[in-house]
Amino acid sequence: MNKKDCEQIGYLLSISYSMEELREGLFKMDQRIKPQWESFEEIQGRSEEVDKLADELMCERNPCSIHWSLLKKEHLKCTYKTALEDARKQIYGDDYHPNMFKI
């Protein structure tokens, strides 16, 4: 990033009243930003879906009068790791591979 880019970003931040305005200004500044943003947005959306589905699976697989997260691990019929893996498989489909989540 050069000095001109920094000035343009500073200007955008000073005049943008919403995230949408800022986002559009950045997209105009460099055409490469929008495809990257879209990829991250898709991943984030999927991530939220996975979290929600994993919680639903845990509730289904560990029926109890209290929420599954309050149970001790040894009382769970299904672990969160298993539910998370199953949720990822359902959400990501053919794109899923266990190694894509390892750091």
Backbone phi and psi for residue 72, each to the nearest 5 degrees, phi listed first:
-75, 150
What are the tens digits of pLDDT across the range 42-82? 777 788 899 999 999 999 998 888 888 888 888 889 999 89
Calpha distance 100→103 (Å, rounded): 8
pLDDT at 34 over 80: yes
Calpha distance 38→55 (Å, rounded): 26
- What pLDDT does residue 101 have? 64
Left if phi > 0, otherwise alpha if psi is -120 to 50, otherwise beta: which for 96?
A: beta
pLDDT at 19 over 70: yes
Q: What are the boundaries of each domain within the chain? A: 1-30, 38-101
pTM for this entry? 0.59
pLDDT at 102 over 70: no
The DSSP string of 1-32 is --HHHHHHHHHHHHH--SHHHHHHHHHHH-TT
